[in-house]
Amino acid sequence: MSGISATGTGTGTGAQLRVSGYTIGTCSGIVAAVAQPETITVSSGNVTVNTALLVTNSLGGRCLYTGRLTGTMVIGGNSATVTGTMNLVATLSGICTGTFSMRRTFTFPFASISW
């Protein structure tokens, strides 16, 4: 991920970041495009991303998924890698799979998140 557009609010144990856009670097598998807003929460180093994904795949499928990705961040850090499983909520068109595993790394270049 690059070109992240986000606003953040400090909390007693870290931060809450509302991501409104970014650019996908590479996707493995059949995912052709992904678009969504989401919230990233950092609490005492634990990172949680609750997300809804609208995925357009190379088979012509438009698929809506939801899931929770988790990871960790070091004190004063500005990046994290999160992993989790995304579950199909709705098939809008074409062919969609029921679930898929996701791993994402994000960096906020000018941030320093502490707790």
Residue 33, pLDDT score: 63
Cα R_g (the chain), whole angstroms: 15
pLDDT tens for each residue of 2-33: 666 667 788 888 877 777 666 666 665 666 66
3-state secondary structure 19-67: EEEEECCCCCCCEEEEECCEEEEEECCEEEEEEEEEEEECCCCEEEEEE
Q: Are 34 and 54 in contact, with CB atoms under 8 Å apart? A: yes
Residue 93, pLDDT score: 93
pLDDT tens for each residue of 41-93: 888 889 999 888 888 888 888 899 999 999 999 888 888 899 999 999 999 99
Residue 32, pLDDT score: 63
Q: Are 86 and 98 in contact, with CB atoms under 8 Å apart? A: no
